[in-house]
Structures are given as structure tokens and as C-alpha cells.
Structure 1
Amino acid sequence: MNLYDSFINKLFSSNLLQIELEGDIAEETDSISIPFIQIKKKPTVWEIEKTLTHVANNDYIKCVIVKIRDLQIGLARAETIRRKIYEVRKSGVKVLTYLEGSGNAEYLIASASDKIIVPPWSTLNLIGLKAEVVFLKDAFEKYDIEPHFKSVGEFKSAVETFTSNKMSKAHREMLDSLLGDLFKQLGLSISQGRNKTPSSIEKIIDNGPYLPEEAQSNGLIDLVGYEQDIYTEVQKLLDKKIKRIDIDRYIKLLNIKDKIRSLVSVFKKDAFNIGLLTDTGMITPGDSKGRGRSKNIGHNTTIKALREVYKSNKLKALVYRVSSPGGSGLSSDLICRELENISSKMPVIISMSDVAASGGYLIALGGSKIMADPFTLTGSIGVFGGKINIANFLKRFGVNIESVSKGKNAMMFSPTKGFSESESEKIVDMMKDLYDKFITRVSEARKLTKAVTEKSAKGRVWTGNQAKELKLIDAFGGIHDSIKLAASEAKIDIKKVIVRTVKKPKLFDLSMLGKNFGFGSIYDDYIEKFNMLSKEDVKTLMPFIINIK
């Protein structure tokens, strides 16, 4: 054993890894810093993947404890973590999960464990999937608010939120197809860890929710007990003294290992760098702002980071991880173009998270290959545009607005009037042109005929599983799988890869100071994003007021 290996072995001397999962599990570390204030950072999806991959491929850790409490993540992120836990389990490492409060995402992750323990007063809310859609037409009529929206693509149902009081036939068909495919995948994934058939899992879900004893008799959990009982189970498995390490500490050791390896490679020339850039949120003009679930993808910020990647001679490939329902069509196109430029120089693998639809999918077309999870929501190849007329609403409060304009269409996008017939025709023509550009872009990037692309477009949202069948994506997998594909495309050995996080320009946003301490609402951030998007006539955004659980 050489000096390097000996040192690494001393670093990883623990035999029990503990992971706590609660709330949101972010895709990226917040780049906004607040001077003099320490905010504890939770592990990202990539850091969890990286840790579990290391555990599965080494002999240091003999047992893993996972504690899961109420999560605020999509099924794609949950499935990514589940697969890695199952990989650890198959490597021979025992995995025990303490499940405190459980829905679909929580149980999906837990199902990969050797044993699941739940407390006596908990409820296993494994009851299936639902999609609830908000419609505002009746409320708008009540308050004299007039929506004026147009869309291209019969399934581009984002405008229905404002113009209808119920689902259209196409909208319902799309949601029924999405939920049907996701439900089938949920049963398939859970069955893998619980040694049951997918059909039996579906039947069990139909009879939920479950109290602990019922869940145990149906083979969904293994023990009813409290948090401290999980350590008793660990003691039975480990014949040595327990040396526990939390995931935060494990991540720090992995980072130290990478830095040492990077230094050694300067002399040995035996390591290669792959960049990892992560973006989350609605796509907007300008800079990226916000933190956590209120982030946006500002094209200025992303483009600056991508141009640094293009100029770098140290990277052999790039993995671009994206989670976005879309937004600004212009901003999406500009980011896509930058990715295309990098793709001409090195492999660019797009890794889709919970959602990468409409503008999020347009961005993905700039990569060499696209990977997604079967649970990912993607597609939504379509456009919509319009405005809301609030003139009569303002009159209710004694507010009158007068205007002076020059130019026939100067008031076209004013929120105090509707569209004239000629203005309405103009915006429809614009949307048809941009829709055709979108179809052409997809056809060229995915090497499909326009006729084939049109069948999978029309604004329809697809699961990752459906998207693969339609050839809208290339393969299934999470971030680590995308890195392996990037290494393969770059013709380098994955064992010699060092993953470098691509840093984005930091922005100190004073408005976030209050929100970090509860003096603000996430809705303030959405209003700000809509204000940014209102400056653009046509948008590439999936039906966003949809909640699938």
C-alpha cells in the first residue's frame, strides 16, 4: 500500500454512516452569502449521490442509517437517492431507515433499505398520486379582471389557469397519462426493495393509508419502534465498536480526498476533470437570484459560468444539471446556444432533475446527450403569450389610468386594455413562428423529422420514461450516471475522473436577508419572477400551477 492509500484509509476509519433527510434536498449549494451569518448547509442531491457511490465501492462503511422526515422534493430526486441506497445495499452494506412521517417520496427512498422502522403513532400515507390544478377564471370574472392569452399546442394548458374554470379534454388526457405512468413506475421501484411484484405494490397502495402494524403485516415496513431502537439494530449487525460518522463530515473527507488526489495528479498526470454546473428555478432574463426553492435561472449568470467553461483547458467534459419548468423563451435560447458552443469543444451531458420542461427542455437541446430520471417531467414543447387587463379591477378602487401613445401598437401589452383584433392576430403569428423554431430546434438536435417531433410536441408534458420512448432523451440516470456517460464520451477512465463544481458569479442580494429569517414569502419571489417574465411577449413555460403528489 502506497502513502496516498494509507492516508486515505486513515481518513475513512468509521464503520457507520448516518444520513438525515428532511425538507428540501437542494440540487445546488446556495451561492448567495450573508456576511457574518453562518447558515448550515444541507447536503445536495449530488453530495448524497457522491457519498453513497463511495460507500458502495469501498469497504470502510459496514452499515448506513437513513433518517427520513417530511420531504419537499419531487419523485425524480427521491428515485435518484433510492437507486443509490439500493446500490449500497447490493454491495453488502446494511441499510436501516427510520421513517418518521411518510408520503410517496419518503417511502420510495426508504423502500431500498434492508429494514424500515417507523414509530408507533406514525401513519404511512402511501395512497397514490394526485394532480391538483388551480383555475382562476371565475375569480377573475368576480373582480373584473380580463385574461387575454393565446397558446400554440393543444396541450399547452398553462393559459387554462387564467382562461378556464375546468380542465380541457386535452389537459385531462395529459395528466391522466402522466399519473398513470408515474404510478406504474412507483410500484416498480418500490417492489425492487421490498421483494414484491409491482402489481402487488399497486394493490397495497390502493388500500392505504396504513397504521404501523398494518404496514408491517403488509410487508411495507419491518419494525415498529422509536429512533433509538435503530441503534440497537445496528449493534446486532456490527461485531465491532461503532464508529459513527455523519454525512456532512463524510462529504468533507471526500472533498479532502479529491484535493489530495488533484495535487498528486499534477505530478502523475493520471486524473481528468469533468465540470458539474447546476441550475434550478424558473428561467428569467438578467441575473440568478434567490435561494432554496425560490431560486431562478437568470441567463446572465448562467452564460457567464458557461463561458468560463468554454475558455477552460482543464475540463474534459461538462455535466449540466437542470431543474426548471421553463420561463423566458429568449433566455432559454441564449443558454442553449452557449451549451451548443461548449458541445463543439467537449462532451456536454444534460442531467434532468424533477422537471426540465418547455424552456427547460429547450436548454437541454444544447447538450451532446440528455439523461433524465423515469420520474422526470419534461417535454412541453410549445409556447404561450398574452396579458391580463386590470383596468376595470382598478376602477373598483377609484383608480383611473389615462395614456398617451404614438404608434398603432404602442399600447399592445398595456395591462389596462385588451388586445384589438389586429394585435391578437399579431401575437398569434409571433407564437406560431416561435413554435416552428422550437420544433425545428428539437428535430435538428434529436435527429428527428419535423413530422415525428410534432407528434411529441403540441405543448404536451411527458414523464422521462415516455420521453425516452419518444427519443426526446437518450438514457436514464442521475448525476453520477451522467458523469460516467461524460467520461465515456470524452474517452477517459471514470476511475481517473475528478468532478469540479463550476462556480457561478456570486450575487449578494439584500432582499434575501429578511427571507432567511421568515420576513418574506416564497410568493414574493414568484411575483418578482412573473414581473421579469412580463417583459417578454411569448413564454416557454409548462403548466406550472400543478401539484403532483
Structure 2
Amino acid sequence: MKRFWIGFLAGLLLPVVLLTIVLAMFQLGLYWRARVPDQATLVVELSGEFPELPGPVLPFPLDDAARRATLRNFWELFDRAAKDPRVRAVLLEIGSLDVGWGRLQELAWGIDKLRRANKSVVAYLRVPGARQYYLACGAGQVYVSPESWLDLKGLRAELVYLADGLRKLGVQVELERAGRYKDAGDMFTRNTISPETRETMDAILDELYGDLVRRIAKGRGMPEDKVRQLLDQGPFLAQQAARERLVDGLLYPDQVEDRLRQQLGQERLRKVFSGDYLRATAKRPRRPHRVAFLVAQGTILPGEEDDWTGHRLLFSDTFRRWVDEIRDDQKIEAVLLRIDSPGGDAVASDEILRALKQLRARKPLVISMSDTAASGGYYIAMTGDPIVAYPGTVTGSIGVLYGKLTLRGLYEKLGMRKVILKRGQFADIDSDYEPLSEKAREKLREGVNRSYQAFLEKVAEGRKTKVEQVRQYAEGRVWLGSQAARHRLVDVVGGFDAALAKVRELARIPPDEPIVLIPYPPRRPLLDILENILASQWSWLRWGLKGESLGSLLGALRPGPWALMPWSIEFH
């Protein structure tokens, strides 16, 4: 019997061991094959969302490296290629982009760096929209397909208001807020835009539209007035775009490569793809300075991260654990904190800020803002350290909000009733059946105002100024990074280059000595994540068998003050 079980287990383990060896050899083969020829053309596919954090480590090649690459990987790609004498040209294949204006500007600056290094940069627009064209304007040549069109017509913002529809359903949203611009929740309580929201959105659109116009004018060699006239005439058929000199030609992808080959004087284009290039140039320097690259990404919530949510949410306990690990690691010399968060739970935000202050007492800290670092996302940046933001970063929103749903009307429409028995004057303050009384509103208003005052004080301390000075630019108003810099809410307008320059300055790292960024949280193997998810199923099953209510599960999103950005911005 013993021999049977030994043979049985060996039969199970042997295929796993062999598969592991085969996959390891495959991965080694990728590195062995990766090489950069002289007079190379670097082919870069720009599409997707360019996340701040990479996905799990895959045990086999489900996807190519370029698609899994982070924004930081593309920054490294452009930086290395600009300095590499073997790279003569760069072919950008620009597809669908799911990025905000901050990440878009980082990519655009990377392309500009290639041009300054005298590389021949050619852009082919697979999906010719405004964001794609924004990037393409950094190239020396821009092409689209003959049967394509250029969807370039300016920018617009669309805001949805649901109050009348919710009223018909019997749903009432009750809000208490601190800050007249703190319009989170307006979509549920209003049926049109408020003057404050219109003022904010007009200022943001003006700033971004101006940035778009300036980039097109510089890239295409046109006066800005001419660009504004053209934007009023868009979108354009491919032939119209060529006639207006918005593109340099109407070619198919193979024709673009053939034209580039002729321009380089090569019989065959010496292509190297971005994933291969990153692998071929990934040489670990001797004795580098180790800098933690700590990413704070997603809506801020209390508690621990699980393997279902991954890094889409920012849980305070999990994040503080990473901060403690960095603080205690003697090999890490400095920290670059990367924030991409619209905020969230006010208490969880405060816990994260405290952990970061303890970290900065031990190591130099620089803060780099991505697409969004607003409300609670701005709050956690108030450590007193340098803040670097893109011109298009959405930030500010210094304000506090409390809201709840009252569903009594909906229950009645469905023929449902609730009977509430309580002990304590405010025991039903967060009930979804009873609307807020005037005394309950006063109670909530007191808490919201106190949280807002604490927010102002933390910002004043972090920005080394007075509360009254902060109050002028608070009130829940959202700012772009360029606007925030004018109001001293951030220190430097820039991206990775500017942030790392600040790291070198604070950590006293000479410019000629190498830095290695150590990512936190680190990548996890996919099999490890799946194992933890499967192991957690029994806990979920027991939760269901115990008859716990859905409200108990949703209780993780606890009531209380929220420092949350009022809306997200998508550009069309």
C-alpha cells in the first residue's frame, strides 16, 4: 500500500516538475533571443491603460510583455532608447488608450525625449482619436490608413444627473458636505449642473484644451489660431486630414514600414519589439542605490486587501504593512511614493498619512502624482515632502462628504415595510428607511465640519502654510496639476524624471550613480493568488451558511466621513 501511494504521488508531481522545467527554459530562451541590432528600429505598441502596478507573474506566456508593461516600464523604455546609439528609429503603433491626462503626458514626454535624441520617430494611428493624436504629434511623421478617419474635434465633458429618475423610484440621497465645491453626490441630488461645478469644469476644460492645441501646433508646425480653427471643423476623413496637414500620408502598416526602411537606407528593416528591447537592456548595475517605488492606487478603504480585489482598491492595513517593511529595510535609501487615488474613507486616509509620516522620519520621501491624487488621495500626500504632479493630474478636492440612501419610497412601491425599534436618539441615523431629522443633520454636520477642519490643518502642516491660506483653494474644489502648482498645492510640475531628480537631491545620490527602483507591493505569482482564493472559498461558504445578511458584508464600507473626489474624468 505504501508503494502505491508513493507511486501515486510521484505520478502527480512529475508532470508538474517537468512543466516547471519547460517553462523555465522557455523564459530563459526569451532572454537569450533578446538582442538589439545596430541601426535598429524600435517598434512600440502604445495601447491599453498603462497601469501603475504590474499584474501577477504568469507561469507561462499568456500575453506578451509589452501588454503587461506598466507606465514606469514605458518610461524606462523611452529613456533607454533615447540613450542607445544602436536605436536609429522608433515606430509607434498607437491603438486604443485608456489613460488620463497625466499618464498621457508622461508618454508624450517620453516620445519628445526620443526626438531630442535625434531618433527618427514615426507614428501610425491604428485608432485615430484625440488622445492618440496627442501622442502622435511628438513624432516626425504621422500616418493613418487611407480608409480611416481622424476623430479630432476638441474636448467635451458630460455630467449625468439622476435626481428626477431616483425620485420616481422612491429613492432619496441625503448628503452633508463641507466645501461649496464638494459636489460628490450632486448627480444623485440635482437635476442639472451647479454654478460651482460649471466653474470648475470650465477651468479644467480650458486648461486641457489649451494643452492639446499647443501640442498640435508645435508638432505640426502650425499657429495655435489655425489649430483652433481646425478643431472646430473636425472630425476629419483621412483625405481631409492629409489635406489640412494633420497627417503626413495615407498608408497601410506595411507601407509605413517600407517607407521607413527606404528612409533609413536598409534592405530590410531591423526591427526590435519593445518587450524584447526591455529584456535585452535589463542589466543590473553594480552597487546601485535602492529606492522603494511605493504605489498607492485605488479608492481608499479600511482593512486588509484580499485576492479578489487585488490592487484596484487601497486598503489601509495592507498599505501600512508595506510602509513598515520599507521603513525597516536598511538597504532602501529613499522612497518614491506614486499616488493614483480619488480618495475614499477619511479615517483610513488618516491612518495611511500617519504611516507615511513615520516612514519619512527614517528615509527621504518624494511624492509623484499620477492621473489622480484628489481628496483622500491628496490628503495622504501631506507628509511635508516634495510633491511632483503632471500638468494634467487631477488633484485638490479638499473637502469632506457624508451621504446615505433613503429607500423608504422604493420599499413602499414594492409593497415592503420596515418597523424600526430603537434605543438612543440617533440609533437610526444611518437607517435606509428613515430620512434624516433636523437634529440628525446637525449631528452629521458637526462631524463633517470637524473632519474638514482637520483636513485643512493637515494640508496647512504638510504644505508649511496657514489654514486660512489653504482655505482659499479648498472648499472641495478640484484642480489640475498646473493650476495646483500656481496655488502652491504641489511643488513641481513634472513626471518620473522630475520626481527621481528630487529623490537624488534629498538622498544625496550623485547624478552619475545608478538607481534601482524596488516596487511595492511586489508582483505575486498567479498560482499563489489562485491558491489563496480557493482557500478562502470555505470562509465564504461558512459566511453564507451562517445566514449573515448582505448588510453585514457591505458593512465593510462603513458609514462616516469620506474624502472622495466628486467625479471621474473621461475625455472624448
Aligned: 1:447 with 2:460: no
Aligned: 1:24 with 2:49: yes
User: Which amino acid in 2 is paired with 1:97?
Assistant: A
Residue-by-residue CA offset, 1:269-288 (whole Å, 9 max, x unaligned):
xx211121223221112234
SS at match of 1:365: coil
Q: Pairwise mapping of residues 416-431 of structure 1 onto structure 2 (< 5 A)? A: 416-431=433-448
**Which residue of 442, 457, 464 corresponds with 2:481?**
464
Task: Mark the CA change 1:493 to 1:155 in structure 2 (over 3 Å): closer, same or farther.
Answer: same
| Cα distance in 2 between the residues matched to 1:253 and 1:277 | 26
**Which residue of 216, 220, 240 corresponds with 1:194?**
220
Task: Mark the CA change 1:316 to 1:133 in structure 2 (over 3 Å): closer, same or farther.
Answer: same
Question: How far does residue 11 in structure 1 lie from its aligned partner after superposition?
Answer: 5.0
Q: Pairwise mapping of residues 37-436 of structure 1 onto structure 2 (< 5 A)? A: 38=62, 40=64, 41-240=67-266, 242-255=269-282, 257-258=283-284, 261=285, 264-265=286-287, 271-288=288-305, 295-366=312-383, 368-436=385-453
Task: Mark the CA change 1:545 to 1:375 in structure 2 (over 3 Å): closer, same or farther.
Answer: closer
CA contact (8 A) 1:34 1:508 kept: no
Q: How many residues align?
A: 517
User: Which amino acid in 2 is paired with 1:544?
Assistant: W
Identity of aligned residues (%): 28
| Cα distance in 2 between the residues matched to 1:343 and 1:60 | 41
| Cα distance in 1 between the residues matched to 2:135 and 2:379 | 30
Indicate the larger mover: 394-403 or 463-472: 394-403
| Cα distance in 2 between the residues matched to 1:482 and 1:427 | 40
Q: TM-score, normalised by structure 2?
A: 0.85
User: Which amino acid in 1 is paired with 2:293?
Assistant: L
Question: How far does residue 243 in structure 1 lie from its aligned partner after superposition?
Answer: 2.8
SS at match of 1:317: strand
Residue-by-residue CA offset, 1:240-279 (whole Å, 9 max, x unaligned):
5533221112222343x02xx2xx32xxxxx211121223
| Cα distance in 2 between the residues matched to 1:395 and 1:495 | 71
Residue-by-residue CA offset, 1:225-249 (whole Å, 9 max, x unaligned):
1111121122123235533221112
| Cα distance in 2 between the residues matched to 1:153 and 1:75 | 26
Question: How far does residue 192 in structure 1 lie from its aligned partner after superposition?
Answer: 2.8
Residue-by-residue CA offset, 1:266-325 (whole Å, 9 max, x unaligned):
xxxxx2111212232211122346799981111222211111111111122111111111
Residue-by-residue CA offset, 1:444-485 (whole Å, 9 max, x unaligned):
111222222111100000111100000001111112331222
User: Which amino acid in 1 is paired with 2:397?
Assistant: S
User: Which amino acid in 1 is paired with 2:44?
Assistant: I
Aligned: 1:13 with 2:37: yes
Unaligned runs of 5+ in 2: 1-30, 535-549
**Which residue of 525, 529, 532 corresponds with 1:508?**
529
SS at match of 2:260: helix
Question: How far does residue 207 in structure 1 lie from its aligned partner after superposition?
Answer: 1.8
Q: Identify the residue that residue 563 of structure 2 maps to in structure 1.
A: 540
| Cα distance in 1 between the residues matched to 2:391 and 2:179 | 24
| Cα distance in 2 between the residues matched to 1:481 and 1:289 | 34
SS at match of 2:420: coil
CA contact (8 A) 1:146 1:388 kept: yes
> What is the root-mean-square deviation of aligned Cα atoms in Å?
2.7
Q: Identify the residue that residue 494 of structure 2 maps to in structure 1.
A: 477
Task: Mark the CA change 1:489 to 1:537 in structure 2 (over 3 Å): closer, same or farther.
Answer: same
Task: Mark the CA change 1:316 to 1:511 in structure 2 (over 3 Å): closer, same or farther.
Answer: closer
| Cα distance in 1 between the residues matched to 2:354 and 2:478 | 23
Task: Mark the CA change 1:292 to 1:220 in structure 2 (over 3 Å): closer, same or farther.
Answer: farther
User: Which amino acid in 1 is paired with 2:561?
Assistant: V
Residue-by-residue CA offset, 1:139-176 (whole Å, 9 max, x unaligned):
11100111111111111011211111111111111111
Indicate the larger mover: 455-464 or 480-489: 480-489
Residue-by-residue CA offset, 1:411-458 (whole Å, 9 max, x unaligned):
111112111211110110111111111111111111222222111100
User: Which amino acid in 1 is paired with 2:54?
Assistant: T
